[in-house]
Amino acid sequence: MDMRGTLLELISSPIHQLNLLKKTFLFWHCIIDELLDVIIRSAHLKFNQSAFLTSIDVVST
C-alpha cells in the first residue's frame, strides 16, 4: 500500500508531468513531420508527372 502511494505521488509530480508532456509533444511532432514529408513528396510527384505529361503534349503536337 505504501509503495502504491509513492508511485501515485511520483506520477502526479510536476517534473514527471513535464516529462510526459515533452514525450507526448515529441511523439506528435514526429508523426506530423512524417505526414508532411509524405504530403510534400506526393505533391512533388504529381507536379513532376503533370510537367512531364505537359512536355510530352508539347513535343508531340
> What would the pLDDT profile of 15-46 be if each residue is shown by its tens digit?
888 888 899 999 999 999 999 999 999 888 88
Q: Look up residue 13 and give its DSSP letter.
A: S
Residue 13 phi, psi dihedral angles, 5° rounding: -70, 145
State the cell numbers at 25. Answer: 509533444
For residue 40, give its domain range.
Answer: 3-60
Give the count of domains, the chain: 1
At residue 49 the predicted structure's pLDDT band, cuts being 50, 70 and 90, is confident
Strand runs labelled E in 1-61: none
Distance CA 24, CA 39 (A): 23
Neighbouring residues of 16: CB distance < 8 A, sequence distance ≥ 6: 10
Q: Where are the alpha helices (DSSP H) in 1-61?
A: 2-11, 14-60
What pTM was computed for the model? 0.53
